[in-house]
Each structure stands twice: as C-alpha cells, then as structure tokens.
C-alpha cells in the first residue's frame, strides 16, 4: 500500500459509520443504487457482477434482489462487514463473496461480466492506471459501470451556501468549502483536486474510458435530491441536458469494445494479469 492508499483506507475506515448512517432505505444513495441496478438488469440480466467499492452493500442488495450473482470488494473491512450483513439471506456465503481490496491484487481469481465502481473514482489517485486494473477484472465484451462527482453542481453550490450562511459555523468549514469547490465532496482531504479533478465533466470521463477500449452505451445523472432523481432514468432531452450539466453524480455504462458480443458467462481467465 502506498502512503496515499493508506490515507484513503483510513479515511474510509473513519467515514464508514457516517456513510452507512446516511445510506438508509429512503436516502439518495439507496435511490441511486436502485436505479443503477434497474439499468444493469436491462443491459445484462442475471450476470455475474462485481460491486467494487461496495460500501455497506446498497447496490449489492439491489442487484441480488434482481437475481444477479453478486460479489463485492472494498478497501474498508467495516464496510465489508456491513455489506455481508446486508446481503445475508439474499446471497449464499457472503463471507466468501465480499472481500478486502489489497493494493493492485485482484480480489477474485476470475473476471466478471459486469464490474461496477460507484462512488470510487473521486478517491482514486491515478485514473489511467486504475483503468488498467479495472480492465483486468472485466470479461471481454463486459460491462463497466462507473461514476464521478461533478464539482460545479447545484448540490455542491447549495452545500457551500448553506455552510456560509450557518451561524456559528462548524469547525473546519473553510476546508469543507474548499473541498466542495474543488472536488464536489465534503471529504476533500483524501479527494482533492489533484485526483478528484482528473475528470470533471462527462466528456473527459467518457474519453478516459474510450482511451481504454470502452464505449458508452448508457448513462444516468443525479442531482443528489431524491425528489428530482426519481426521474433520472426517464428524463426528456432538456431534463437530461440540465442534469448532465448541473447534476452532482454522473454514472456511465461502458461496454468493452474488443468483441461485438459478450462471451459465455463466468469465463475463467488465464492468471497472467495477476501479480
């Protein structure tokens, strides 16, 4: 683990309680997980799926309920424990299915038809080398689902205004405002402009995937307001354009381009990409 990976790891170990508390069934995160799972169910029903950066398992649960063969991995053992608990009764052998991510070692010795990295890119230092790591996890012709956070979003600005107008201001408010404006996240300490800002719009995100052999087949944009986000999958042209410009989170669905059709599921791969 590099020192920076260690910082991200300890940040998430510390933040796990707060994130899990904010991830209740009525939360924005639960809604996002449900809509992403519905989209994947339309694109690759019943696939063998890796939920990478699974957190407390919101998406894993939504996928398991839709009949997917779900596996998960995360850098935080606290998050993994929560994901195992959340999927108990829905998936067999949760202890085996949810594994710790350790450095660049693949968490499972096979590839997946679908790999999802939701809410992880802002915490990744080097997107290009992370793409190579992800490419080693996805089957040829597989689907990669990933998100980034837009710093110039309505949500980030609303958070800035509400922090500025609070009296007395909470401790660390200057740092939080800086974080929001440079990364769109409260937690800029480990997600500052240097890496969170590597992709700051939909086009640069799509280019990152295109350079690495992936073609975008669909997308969802979220404001981080459940009332507005319920419609995320059914917006008209103008609604989509507004959400793409001002929404807080963009989720892209990318297909690996090397084959025109997905191969048989659960292909066991040659292990040459493993360390």
Which residue in the shown chain puts its C-beta closest to ligand SAM?
55
Choices 69-77, 165-173, 198-206, 247-255 (CB under 6 A): range interacting with ligand SAM: 69-77
Name which of residues 73 to 132 contact ligand SAM (CB under 6 A). Answer: 74-76, 79, 101, 118-120, 123-124
Nearer to ligand SAM, 145 or 255 (CB): 145
Binding letters toward ligand SAM, positions 38-67, x by CB under 6 A: --------------xxxx--xx--------
Q: In the complex, what is the shortest distance from the CB of residue 165 to ligand SAM, in angstroms, rounded to a whole number?
A: 26
Choices 72-80, 173-181, 235-243, 245-253 (CB under 6 A): range interacting with ligand SAM: 72-80
What string of DSSP letters covers the chain? --HHHHHHHHHHHHHHHHHHHT--TTSHHHHHHHHHHHHHHHHSTT-EEEEET-TTSHHHHHHHHTT-EEEEEES-HHHHHHHHHHHBTTBS-HHHHEEE-BTTB-SSSS-EEEEEE-S-GGG-S-HHHHHHHHHTTEEEEEEEEEEEE-TTSHHHHHHHHHHHT-SSPPTTHHHHHHHHHHHSSS-TTTS-HHHHTT--SHHHHHHHHHHTTEEEEEEEEE-S-HHHHTTGGG--HHHHHHHHHH-SEEEEEEEETT-SS--STTPPPPGGG--
Q: In the complex, what is the shortest distance from the CB of residue 135 to ligand SAM, in angstroms, rounded to a whole number?
A: 15
Nearer to ligand SAM, 49 or 262 (CB): 49
Q: In the complex, what is the shortest distance from the CB of residue 259 to ligand SAM, in angstroms, rounded to a whole number?
A: 27
Nearer to ligand SAM, 83 or 206 (CB): 83
Q: In the complex, what is the shortest distance from the CB of residue 195 to ligand SAM, in angstroms, rounded to a whole number?
A: 11
Q: In the complex, what is the shortest distance from the CB of residue 111 to ligand SAM, in angstroms, rounded to a whole number?
A: 17
User: What separation in angstroms does the CA of 268 have from each of 47, 222, 228, 247, 272?
Assistant: 15, 35, 42, 38, 12
Nearer to ligand SAM, 75 or 154 (CB): 75
For residue 186, state whether it binds ligand SAM (rule: CB under 6 A).
Answer: no
Nearer to ligand SAM, 73 or 262 (CB): 73
Site residues for ligand SAM per CB under 6 A:
8, 12, 19, 29, 33, 52-55, 58-59, 74-76, 79, 101, 118-120, 123-124
């Amino acid at each position: 683990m590099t020192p920076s990976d260690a910082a991200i790891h300890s940040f998430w170990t510390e933040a796990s309680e707060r994130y899990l508390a904010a991830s209740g069934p009525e939360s924005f995160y639960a809604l996002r997980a449900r809509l992403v799972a519905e989209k994947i169910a339309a694109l690759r029903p019943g696939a063998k799926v890796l939920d990478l950066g699974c957190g407390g398992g919101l998406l894993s649960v939504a996928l398991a309920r839709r009949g997917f063969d779900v596996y998960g991995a995360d850098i935080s053992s606290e998050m993994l424990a929560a994901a195992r608990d959340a999927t108990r009764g829905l998936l067999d052998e949760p202890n085996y299915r949810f594994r710790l991510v350790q450095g660049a070692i693949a968490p499972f010795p096979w590839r997946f038809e679908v790999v999802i990295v939701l809410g992880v890119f802002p915490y990744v230092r080097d997107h290009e080398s992370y793409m190579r790591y992800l490419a080693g996890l996805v089957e040829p012709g597989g689907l990669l689902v990933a998100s980034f956070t837009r710093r110039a979003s309505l949500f980030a600005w609303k958070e800035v205004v509400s922090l500025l107008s609070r009296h007395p201001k909470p401790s660390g408010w200057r740092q939080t405002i800086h974080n929001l404006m440079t990364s769109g996240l409260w937690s800029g300490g480990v997600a500052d402009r240097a890496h969170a800002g590597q992709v700051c719009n939909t086009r640069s995100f799509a280019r990152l995937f295109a350079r690495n052999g992936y073609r975008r087949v669909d997308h969802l944009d979220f404001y981080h307001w459940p009332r507005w986000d319920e419609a995320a999958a059914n917006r008209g042209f103008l609604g989509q354009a507004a959400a793409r410009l001002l929404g807080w989170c963009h989720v892209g669905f990318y297909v690996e381009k090397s084959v025109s059709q997905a191969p048989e599921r659960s292909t066991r791969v040659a292990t040459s990409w493993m360390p």
